[in-house]
Amino acid sequence: MHKVSVSLILEVKELNAVILKIEEIRQRKGITKTHIATSCGRSVPWYSDIVKGRRRVYLEDISAIADSLGLEVSFSFSHKVSDTLSSVIVS
């Protein structure tokens, strides 16, 4: 079986909800944008662009940001995404 690496991009409306929640948690915990960016090995403009909706966000980004906030993250996929992933994986 061959493995294929797949990066998924969150839909815009889902992304807005995730980013709003991340910002709420970040502010409540008193964590700076600099801390998040540094923890993710990225620049502050990278994180700021995510918050402003100027940058695509990948699952890997959300996972890294969650780690920097001390959160555990889990992902669930809709049937549509599962079908897409199934068609990409080559046996």
Boundaries of every domain in the chain: 12-84
What is the fold, at CATH topology level, of the domain defined by 12-84? Answer: 434 Repressor (Amino-terminal Domain) (1.10.260)
39-91 tens-digit pLDDT: 999 999 999 999 988 888 888 898 899 999 998 877 666 555 445 444 444 43
Dump the DSSP string for 22-79. HHHHHHHHT--HHHHHHHTT--HHHHHHHHTT-S--BHHHHHHHHHHTT--------H
41-51 tens-digit pLDDT: 999 999 999 99
Whole-prediction pTM: 0.68
